[in-house]
Structure 1
Amino acid sequence: MLTLTNVTWLDLCLAGVAVYLVKQMLNKNPAPYPPGPRGLPLIGNIQDMPHIRPWLTFAEWGKKYGPISHVEILGQHIIVLNSVKSAMDMLDKKGAVYSDRPVLPMCGELCGWKHVLALLPYGDRFRQYRKNIHRIMGNRAALDVYHPVEEIETRRFLKRVFSKPGELQDHVRHTAGAIILRISHGYEVKEKNDPFIDLADRAMDQFSRSTAHGAFMVDIMPFLAKVPEWFPGAGFKRLAREWNKTREEMAAIPYEFVKDQMAAGIAPKSFTSKLLEGQTLSVEEDHMVKWSAASLYLGGSDSTVSAIYSLFLAMTLFPHVQKKAQAEIDTVVGTDRLPSFTDRDSLPYIEALVKEVLRWNVVGPTAFPHRVTEDDIHDGYYIPKGSLVIPNAWFMLNDPQAFADPSQFNPERFLDNDGKDPEPEPRTICFGFGRRICPGLHLADASVWISTAMSLAVFDISKVVENGVEITPEVDPTSGTVSHPKPFKCFIKPRSAKAAALIQQDANY
């Protein structure tokens, strides 16, 4: 007699295959699927789906099969988009059909991240989250009130780098967390070992790991979510239980901090306090405010870390770009003060440099998949309901047809040069598409801009020399929902004695 204790993974896989076969027998498609690699009988393209740097494999599919390609894994259809036009036509123009999110068994269900904006299904709660965020920071002008916070925290960043340049990555992460926590919850972080920063870093790491393509078999065969923790091979469920606890603390602890501060009458203005002020909330409304704030942190912190760390990598590898940027700052701002947001319109090369940071080392190479809510025929191809649609932003921003010599870091591609039109605006691609575009994009853009302008005003960034040998960092981004440059060494020093004095000024100045 077959009991649960002697059911094997093979039995479970066979059950999944049986479901797949029944579906296949019942299907009669009105049009062909988009082209793609030929799958195997029963299991489809399970062996074709890449786990490491998937954007590179997707780009190869684009070259071979065209801008829209298709694979199928045990009945789950996956559509990969390798052109901006396809992404705009489907995800923007057909947003009512292409704006849902898939159910992610590991990240969304078992770890509980389904409450965050990035994973919410398209519907009323999704629209309310976005309305909350848009109301506070829906455009550049609305962010003016937060500029002093960003400038103060970036000044503190300069001090940290000046004091301990070898800990650059930690400083970038600390500062990104400090900015977003002050804006989202009015919380001013401690200089060292801040509990909110530590908690958020753990949650972000776990979120990234839980959403990695192909990392957990339960995402391919969702029925595995029902097996008990003690079942052989079900270690992912014990991991999910631990990660769920971190996720809940990351959202709840800062939220309760704001409530306590408001009750005491000492809460500074923040995203959360504005949504709570003068309100008596239902349980559902309270949930939405808490997770709107948590979504703001999740969407802004890790991506900003990746972009600013990429800036320092680019300046290490392309010193001529650094010199041009510094020359513009010196001419427009001078050397007696640091740049501020009031200088932004007067620094076109810095503006172009920030665009190139966002293009060159793409923060979200494949982003989160969209989910199709109705059958669709697009360009003669059948896109069935429930398909996952993955826009390959990495290729769109490295397409040699759109960007000349894309591996090179060249801000001038975004400037008018001898009557030649600038290359495409990367911010229309790197922040997502359609109704799923990142609602905090203006905040992320502002954070990268002020870090770029202030850092290049006072620091020279160059390659490290060890034992007489110059060390050239690798451009080797990590896989994950948010991609980061591989840790690297660089040499950072003040540009002059005057620059060192500017760095050491009171950060609250």
Structure 2
Amino acid sequence: MAAFDMIQNVSLSPVLLKLSLLFISPVLLLLTAYFFIVPNVIKDPRRRKLPPGPKGLPFVGNMLDLADTELVRDKAIAWRKQYGEIFYTKIGGTDYVWLSSPKVVKDLMDKKSGIYSSRAPAPLAQDVASAGRRQLFMPYGARWRSIRKHSHDLLNLRSSVKYQPVQDFESKYLLQELMESPDDFILINRRYSASVIMLVTYGYRIPSWNDPLIQRIYAMLDRFTKMTAPGAHAIDSFPSLASLPQWMLGNWRSHGQRVFEQDSQLNLDLWNRLKRETDAGTAKDCFTKTFYLKDPAKSGIDDLSAAYTCGGLIEAGSETTGTTLNNFVLCMLLNPEVQKKAQEELDRVVGPDRLPTWEDEESLPYVRGVIKEVLRWRPVNKFGMPHATSEDDWYEGYFIPKGSVAVLNWWAIHRDPELWPNPDAFDPSRYLNHSASAADYINASDPKTRDHFAYGAGRRVCPGVHVAERSLYINIARVLWGFNLRKKIGKDGQVIEVTEKMAPGFFSVPENYECDIRPRSAKHAEIMKKQWAEAEKEGLNF
């Protein structure tokens, strides 16, 4: 305060005064951060045994190295090559340990899941913007286990089969949409994904991208991705500074409160509407109806927590599946020979007279390989899957402090040539001997036999993996059966090239691109139109 008193006692112009304050505030912030963080480093000699890794800058660590999300995957791969299968970085005041081989992931996230299943403190993202209710950010403990149990019971293998009629119905509508508005394929894939997870969760359809509900959902997703990008907000990089006045760190509490008001309004609107419909006997069968009838309050889950539990499924299932579908289309444009092989398999197994069905899946190993290869080649986010340690630990002579973020470094694992020869190539044939689902491979005793790591590992593995796998299969198989996907020809007669670049943000969303989508024949188009007309007439019952 002395510095501010001195300024006030000196006759300065308003402009100079403002400049002085702008200079002094960051200095005070850095000094405060120094006294909060550095003594802990000095006092703990075990930190000399941290895993190797790139040197960072004072205070911010490697934050600047990872500031451009487009470059994170390249850094993650390069650092694995340079430092080995486990390496260390620091982002702000938080330790990051990158688990970069199947063995390390198995040894720590699976075999030591009791201490590698938490989340790092997130004063903005979890404490304020989510009121501590978002399961994704929730630390490991009794509350998380209670909510996770409900999610698992309603999304497990047996339960997921009940949702197949939803995916069948929506995939037929997607085919119709692609015939009517092929240039809108990116939004069509997003609508499909959001409608499926909304029907599964709440029993509500989203029939159009212009539906107000999907606009609210994607507005929430946009807030979510901006808030959770590594280094996006200083307070979540320096959580120990949460007790300081918020103006020193960008008025983060006020920002978080605004996000909470918007997100909680949507989540509570949906939850309370479903409760009223269930009480009135008009609610459709869905995750939330079953969840509500089990009386989550008995497990200590209040209305706000319940609303965020169900809303979390919408967040997790909308953009991740939509992103994967749009990456699939991109992969087909970049690898037309793969599309040709997949269509040859579909023609041989399914034929030209009907759509692919659930029963065809086991006879379509190459199509199954396409799906697995999309998830290997372009996992759903740019950073990896972050857990956090709830205790100090030692591994292979390295010290891993309590509270470290343990990152499942899928970029490095998926591009390891010892596991996947020629890893940069998109080659579904590498999976021809992988006949099981991704959910089955998650529990493989030998981690090197896993098909990919896109659904995570340990106790925080994606709970919706069974629903996601079915959604990807029925959509991708039918699109490949019914359409040719080609690069567009511009008005100048030249091919419009596509790239592997991703859009800004946390998810691996491809940069906007164009695609020429046309039915493979008049007969294919006729069958797709007929299938949707019949589905629309019968309506959706599940």
Provide TM-score, normalisation by structure 1: 0.92
Counterparts in 2 of 1:313-352, with a 5 A limit? 313-352=330-369
Instruction: Provide the secondary structure at the position in 2 that maps to 1:88.
Output: helix
TM-aligned CA deviation for residue 498 of structure 1:
1.2
Give the match for residue 109 of structure 1: 127
1:150 touches 1:179 (CA, 8 Å); kept in 2?
yes
The answer to whether the aligner puts 1:385 opposite 2:405 as a matched pair is no
> Contact 1:202/1:246 (CA < 8 Å) preserved in 2?
no
Partner amino acid for 1:115?
Answer: R
1:167 equivalent to 2:184? Answer yes
Is 1:93 matched up with 2:111? Answer: yes
- Decide whether aligned partners of structure 1 residues 40 and 256 sit closer, same or farther in structure 2, where only a CA change above 3 A counts: closer
- The structure 1 residue matched to 2:289, chosen from 260, 268, 273, is 273
Of residues 110, 127, 138, the one that matches 2:145 is 127
Matches within 5 A, 1:242-321: 242-277=258-293, 279=295, 281=297, 284-321=301-338
- Match for residue 148 of structure 1 among 165, 174, 177: 165
Task: Note the C-alpha offset of 1:20.
Answer: 2.0
- Among 30, 38, 43, the alignment partner of 1:21 is 38
Residue 74 and residue 332 in structure 1: after superposition, are their counterparts in 2 closer, same or farther (change >3 A)?
closer
Q: Is 1:501 matched with 2:522?
A: no
Offset at residue 204 of structure 1 (A): 1.0
**Pairing of 1:220-259 with structure 2 (within 5 A):** 220-222=237-239, 225=242, 231=247, 234=250, 236-259=252-275
Deviation at 1:500, TM superposition (A): 1.1
SS at match of 2:119: coil
Structure 2 counterpart of 1:211, from 217, 220, 228? 228
Indicate how the Cα distance of structure 1 residues 196 and 407 shifts in structure 2: closer, same or farther if over 3 A, else same: same
Partner SS state of residue 465, structure 1: coil
1:191 to 192, 205, 208: 208
**Structure 2 residue identity aligned to 1:493:** R
Which 10-residue stretch deviates more, 173-182 or 124-133? 124-133
CA shift for structure 1 position 364: 2.8
Kindly report which structure 2 residues correspond to 1:54-73, keeping only aligned pairs within 5 A, or say none. Answer: 54-73=72-91
Moved more, 129-138 or 108-117: 108-117
Contact 1:55 1:366 (8 Å CA) reproduced? yes
The 10-residue stretch of structure 1 (382-391 or 5-14) with the greater mean CA deviation from structure 2:
5-14
Q: Give the Cα–Cα distance (whole angstroms) in 2 for the partners of residues 484 and 362 of structure 1.
A: 10
**What do the CA deviations read for 1:164-194 (whole angstroms, capped 9, x no partner)?**
1111111111111100000101112243522
Instruction: After TM superposition, give the deviation of residue 36 of structure 1 in Å.
Output: 1.1
Distance 1:49 1:314 in 2: 26
For residues 296 and 231 of structure 2, what CA distance do their matches in structure 1 show? Answer: 43
Q: 1:483 aligns with which of 508, 528, 533?
A: 508
Write the letter of the residue equivalent to 1:437: V
1:24-66 CA-to-partner distances (Å, cap 9, x unmatched) read: 2321218611111234456544544444232221221111111
1:439 aligns with 2:463: yes
- Relative distance call for 1:426 and 1:488 in structure 2 (3 A) is farther
In structure 1, what is the equivalent of residue 477 of structure 2?
453
State the partner residue of 1:463: 487
Using structure 2 for the length normalisation, give the TM-score.
0.87
Pick which of 263-272 and 408-417 moved more: 408-417
Paired residue type of 1:164: S
Does residue 429 (structure 1) correspond to residue 453 (structure 2)? The answer is yes
The amino acid that maps onto 1:372 is T
Q: Secondary structure at the match of 2:114?
A: helix
Q: Which amino acid is 1:435 matched to?
A: R
| Deviation of 1:223 (Å) | 5.6
Deviation at 1:451, TM superposition (A): 0.8
Deviations 1:245-295 (A, max 9, x none): 222123212212211211222111000111222748457354443332222
Distance 2:515 2:400 in 1: 47
- CA offset at residue 404 of structure 1? 1.8
Q: 2:76, 2:411 within 8 Å by CA — same for their partners in 1? A: no
Per-residue Cα deviation, 1:77-97 (whole angstroms, up to 9, x for no partner): 221122121111111111111
Q: Where does residue 390 of structure 2 map in the other structure? A: 373
Change beyond 3 A, Cα 1:416–1:193: closer
Q: For residues 75 and 278 of structure 1, what CA distance do their matches in structure 2 show?
A: 41
Is the Cα contact below 8 Å between 1:364 and 1:393 reproduced in 2? no
Q: 2:102 aligns with which of 84, 90, 100?
A: 84
**1:374 deviation in Å?**
1.2
Q: Is the 8 A contact 2:51 2:398 kept in 1?
A: yes
Quote the Cα distance in structure 2 between the aligned partners of 1:34 and 1:57: 17
Partner SS for 2:96: strand
Indicate conservation of the 8 Å contact 1:431/1:437, yes or no.
Answer: yes
SS at match of 2:489: strand
- Shift in alpha-carbon separation, 1:112–1:165, aligned structure 2, 3 A: same
Is the 8 Å Cα contact of residues 101 and 121 (structure 1) preserved in structure 2? yes
Gaps of 5+ in 2: 9-20, 435-446
Structure 1 residue 196 displacement after superposition: 1.9
Q: Distance in 2 between matches of 1:442 and 1:36?
A: 36
Q: Distance in 2 between matches of 1:397 and 1:93?
A: 21
Change (3 A) 1:412 1:43: closer
CA contact (8 A) 1:306 1:483 kept: yes
Contact 1:300 1:443 in 2 (8 A): no
Residue 497 (structure 2) pairs with residue 472 (structure 1): yes
Q: Secondary structure at 1:79's aligned position in 2?
A: strand
